[in-house]
Amino acid sequence: MKTKIKMAAGLILAIFILSACSQKQESTIKDQLKDQSQQEEVLAFIAENHELGQKFIAKMMDNDHATGMMVDELVNAAANDTILADKLSDMITRYPELMLLTTHHFMPVIANDSLLSDTFCDHTLEHENLEMTMHEKMEYRKSLEQNH
């Protein structure tokens, strides 16, 4: 699974390198990269070079297609790898805005699937603080409705 992510990231980085070259060099590099062993060598070099990796990631973040590919790969990998899923979950919880955005997008999905709804409710009830906070919020809203 990690190899697929590295391969996808490397391939995209290789594309970045190609775009950074001049027109004449680009043709030469494109010709060279038709060879599978050359592709692997470039991808390995990019993956192991911190500065190039950072530049590659920045370039990918500026490209909608590349960003979508990264997210797809990350989600697919996390679905099959609990360690990666935990890391992804930790990152989401570190950024409250991202947590709210994620929750906002997933709530309709959860609401439309009875199994997900049941699972979500079960998980919510396992966390007493969350359960109490939700209960208090619902009671407060009921009291507002009664006063109007």
Q: Which of 25-34, 40-49, 64-73, 103-112 has the lowest mean pLDDT?
A: 25-34
User: What does the DSSP 8-state code read for residue 35?
Assistant: S
CA atoms within 13 A on the CB side of 14: 21
pLDDT band at 133 (very low <50, low <70, confident <90, very high): confident
For the chain, what is the mean pLDDT?
82
Examine the pLDDT at 116 and tell me if it is beyond 70. yes
70-80 mean pLDDT: 88
Give tens-digit pLDDT for 36-71: 888 899 889 988 999 998 998 899 899 999 999 988
- Give the model's pLDDT for residue 18: 63
- Which range has the top average pLDDT, 47-51, 73-77, 88-92, 129-133? 47-51
Do the beta carbons of residue 46 and residue 14 sit within 8 Å?
yes
Alpha carbons 87 and 129: distance in angstroms, whole number:
23
Closest CA to 33 of 10, 55, 14, 8: 14
For the chain, how far is it from start to end, CA to CA, in angstroms?
A: 56
More confidently predicted of 12 and 140: 140
The structure's pTM equals 0.48
- Give the model's pLDDT for residue 26: 47
Do the beta carbons of residue 43 and residue 14 sit within 8 Å?
yes
